Amino acid sequence: MATRRVHAIVTGRVQGVSYRASTVDEARRLGVVGWVRNLPDGAVELEAEGPDAQITALLAWCAHGPPAARVTSVDARELAPSGTETAFALRR
């Protein structure tokens, strides 16, 4: 099973709508590791690593997020898997 790692910037109404907490829940449900945090410009940044199908599913979820979010874009790029993380965390 191929492992992928992605870095993504999510824009739109994604702060103040439980986007980060919901991303943590979805990533853990899918069994991927990494982190998510707010950016000063109002976007959300994340890195996620796991099996290809789970990363694809997480990115698809990120495109709509939780009910109160209004996502306008998800800009994702591939990174080399690190294999160093053991959980998905919310960063401040």
- Please list the active-site residues: 20, 38
Overall residue count recorded for the chain in this entry: 92
Per the CB < 8 A criterion, the answer to whether 15 and 38 are in contact is yes
Who contacts 79 (Cβ-Cβ below 8 Å, separation ≥6)?
5, 6, 7, 47
Tokens linked to 51 = 């099996």
Q: What is the rounded distance in angstroms from the CA atom of residue 1 to the CA atom of residue 16? A: 36
